[in-house]
Amino acid sequence: MAMRETTSRDGLQLANVPYPAPDHAEARLFGDWEKAVEHLTHHLLTAPECHAWALVIDDYTRLVDLRSADARFHFVEQARASHGQSAQALYDRYAHAVSADLRDASQLEWFVQHGQVTVAMGTTGILVVIVAVGGNDTLDRPRPIVKTAFLAGQGDPEAVRKSHRIPAAERRGMMRERPMRTPKRHGVSGEARGRRQRLREARWSTEERLYYRVFRPSVQHIMRCHHRNRDMFGRLRGNDYALLKDVLPRRSQLKLDHWRELRRDCRGDGLKP
Amino acid sequence: MNNRYVRKTLAATRNGVVDPSVEVHLWLDELQDVVRDYGEDLRSQQLPTEPAYDLLALLGKLRRARRDLIDDGDGRSEFEEAILLFEGNSQLLCQAALSVPNGEAWLHAATEYAASFDQVLDVGEETRWAVDLLEDLDDAELVIAVAARQGITDPEVENDVGRCTEWLGGHIDLFLPASVYAQAVGQTLRPDLEQWDYELAATVLKFVDLLDEAEQAEYEMQHPIVKPLLPSFVSCLYEQYRVECEGAPLTAFRASEVLPEEAEPVLAADADVELPQRCLRWRSPDGRYLAEMYVPPKPTDRGDEEPLVLVVYRQTDDAPAEELAGQRVWLGSATPKTLQKEGRVTFLLAELRVSDRLCLSVGSRDRLWEALEE
């Protein structure tokens, strides 16, 4: 269970989450309420990632109407105005999900430490980056703070956010689609494809949805980063997610049935968040 | 046997960074998704085009891949299932897939990528962009090759995609950021690909070109004949970048504008005209010191052997900065000199003339003094 810690009397109460490695017990879930609200905005309240969170956080759709961009925007505005207080319920559920994944990471040893950075992932597929800050003084130990905890491989919320801010002509390297697939003739619209997809997924079990729509894309994102986050000499650039590749099981050991087993080992009940 | 798809001389391959199984396992996952999500539709008469396109591209990728990598990902049965699906409706699948490639859109995106090299971009972002374009073109080439094997061709599409391949060949150096990805794809390939399937082998020529280019680039960058740039030269380049791109205040004079021209014959009429000496002035980063150097307006009898004295003094009382004596002084590309007791140091005109910009630093090479307008 995430431990709450009051940081401002009237604003968001920040939580501590388990630290996956033995050198610390806990990490703070973001440095302050502003960072926390910013993160909720860009990941839990921005499409397409918000729809994946709805599969992770049980009663998420009771808190926010995810189908409506206006409703999400309104939620963000209220959260900012109240210093995060109005988003407390969402934050707590989010902290609960992150905590559970960090416990999985600890049990399965799905984490990597690289300098001051620890990258971890659990059986839901939440990718967590923790940075140890401070500690220059010999008596002052570095304090681990979660910098980001998101569902990877759901589309890039950062790119979505930037693209709204930057004129089309300057959207260099952002929001790229595969240009070769740009429709040149009539075809099935994206909306129609989405409808078909939803019909198909309706036949899936909750477990299958969580595996195929959340966990596996996250693993694929990490794998994809392995060759794509490097300069021409093979040095890692950009972020440390790719380091997780070496601690995750291989594809043949990470199919649906394997994942179910891992999930049961970690949580007892495969679906418990 | 020499395998031209694997280049052990390249740093990422040599250091074991490249893992071809990663790419093959991702393709297997994608294939599994297509078959699971669209299998029923792909067997029908009313085919969705993009899943058909994905199916053909992925089959092509896996057909040209090493079998051991497919087995390692426990993907043999998935691959075989996809082949059966394809063979059951191959004509319609090929026709549907061939309706997708849009070479014009790819060329537009690639041109945008090429233009981006004029701006500063995060290395990771550049790599992802280059890889996205390569993968996208690869898919189109694979679809054409797989369809051709079934006897189905579309000259218009082939021509369209061919123009993209040609463009890539002419700009392959721009795709060096995707070198590690190309090495990974290269290592996924069957070593006997050319003998096994010539059509598929033709789709990987772009990766071979990129690997050749990467070998050449790494050789040139690491070869002993390449000397490191002089730090003073790098400082000047950085200074130029700051002024031109970031609008930073000027911290250097342009040598060609402030130094007398080189051994120019002096006309008799001009010789009589007394021009004032030019005074170049700099201010230290903390604002405590000023430096001055007087420069003759025209070449003197000593020509490039003319000594130019730089004097450093305190701004508060105009006294020579004796407390800085003994510190190193960098000016343009000249060899650094030591500041004398009187806060003076002498450079020869010839030493300064080879500089593009006259950046001054005292004590620490990284701390540039601000050039003051004359």
Confidence at B318, pLDDT banded by 50, 70, 90? confident
Q: What mean pLDDT, rounded, does chain A reach?
A: 83
Q: Per the CB < 8 Å rule, is B72 touching A183?
A: no
Low-confidence winner among A22-26, A125-129, A140-144, A240-244 (lowest mean pLDDT):
A140-144
**A256: its two tokens:** 């649906």
User: What is the number of CB-based contacts under 8 A between chain A and chain B?
Assistant: 138
Report which of A34, A46, A95 is spatially closest to residue A72, judged by C-alpha positions: A46
Domain ranges across chain A = 3-164+197-267
What is the least distance, in Å, from the CA of A124 to any CA of chain B? 18
Chain A touched by B118 (CB under 8 Å): no
Confidence at A171, pLDDT banded by 50, 70, 90? very low
Chain A touched by B29 (CB under 8 Å): yes
pTM of the entire predicted model? 0.74
Q: Are B299 and B263 in contact (CB under 8 A)?
A: yes
- Side chain identity at A71, as an amino acid letter? A
Backbone angles phi, psi at A151, to 5 degrees: -95, 105
Q: Residue B157 pLDDT more than 90? A: yes
For chain A, positions 242-261, list CB contacts with chain B under 8 A: 245, 250-252, 255
Residues of chain A with Cβ-Cβ distance to B133 below 8 Å are 179
Q: Are A55 and A270 in contact (CB under 8 A)?
A: no
Chain B touched by A188 (CB under 8 Å): yes
Q: What integer is the mean pLDDT of B267-296?
A: 79
Give me the pLDDT at residue B278, please.
85
State how far Cα A234 lies from the chain centre. 26
Most confident of A147-156, B36-45, B166-175, B339-348: B166-175
Residues of chain B with Cβ-Cβ distance to A189 below 8 Å are none
Q: Are B307 and B348 in contact (CB under 8 A)?
A: yes
Nearest to A251 among B25, B135, B140 (CB): B25
Give me the pLDDT at residue A167, please.
41
What is the least distance, in Å, from the CA of A162 to any CA of chain B? 14
Domain ranges across chain B = 11-222, 231-372
Q: Per the CB < 8 Å rule, is B127 touching A230?
A: yes
Candidates A189, A201, A230, A232, partner chain B, best to mutate (most B CBs within 10 A):
A232
State how far Cα A12 lies from the chain centre. 20
Backbone angles phi, psi at B169, to 5 degrees: -60, -35
Q: Per the CB < 8 Å rule, is A176 touching B217?
A: no
CA dihedral of B135, B140, B143, B147, whole degrees rounded to 10: -160
Residues of chain A with Cβ-Cβ distance to B23 below 8 Å are 227
Q: Tokens 């997780």: give the residue.
A: A244
Nearest CA in chain A to B119: A172
Chain A touched by B106 (CB under 8 Å): yes
Render pLDDT for A130-170 as a digit per residue (tens, 0 to 9).
Answer: 998 876 545 567 889 999 999 999 876 455 444 444 443 33
Give me the pLDDT at residue B297, please.
82
Residues of chain B with Cβ-Cβ distance to A182 below 8 Å are 102, 105
Q: What integer is the mean pLDDT of B254-264?
A: 76
Chain A touched by B163 (CB under 8 Å): no
CB-facing half-sphere around the CA of A205: CA atoms within 13 A: 7
Give me the pLDDT at residue B176, please.
94
Low-confidence winner among A37-41, B77-81, B243-247 (lowest mean pLDDT):
B243-247
Task: Give the residue, A73 or A199, on which the prediction is more confident.
Answer: A73
Give me the pLDDT at residue A135, please.
60
Nearest to B139 among A180, A193, A233 (CB): A180
What is the least distance, in Å, from the CA of B63 to any CA of chain A? 19
Instruction: Tell how strand B328-331 and strand A117-121 pair up.
Output: unpaired
Candidates B10, B17, B68, B69, partner chain A, best to mutate (most A CBs within 10 A):
B17
Render pLDDT for A2-60 as a digit per residue (tens, 0 to 9).
Answer: 555 544 456 899 999 999 988 888 999 999 999 999 999 999 998 889 999 999 998 89
Q: Per the CB < 8 Å rule, is B50 touching A216?
A: no
Confidence at A268, pLDDT banded by 50, 70, 90? confident
Share of chain A above pLDDT 70, in %: 79
Helix axes B123-149, B179-188, angle to 10 degrees: 30
Chain A touched by B78 (CB under 8 Å): no
**B203: its two tokens:** 């789709």
Residues of chain B with Cβ-Cβ distance to A180 below 8 Å are 100-103, 105-106, 136-137, 139-140, 164
Q: C-alpha angle with apex B168: B146 to B118, nearest 5 degrees?
A: 145
Candidates A177, A181, A227, A253, partner chain B, best to mutate (most B CBs within 10 A):
A227
Task: Give the residue, B220 or B347, on which the prediction is more confident.
Answer: B347
DSSP letter string, B212-280: HHHHHHHHHHHSTT-PPPPHHHHHHHHHHHHHHHS-PPP-EEEHHHHSPPTTPPPPHHHHTS-PPPEEE
Strand ordering across the sheet containing B370-372: B344-348, B307-314, B289-295, B278-283, B370-372
Burial class (CB in 10 A: 0-12, 13-18, 19+), B333: buried
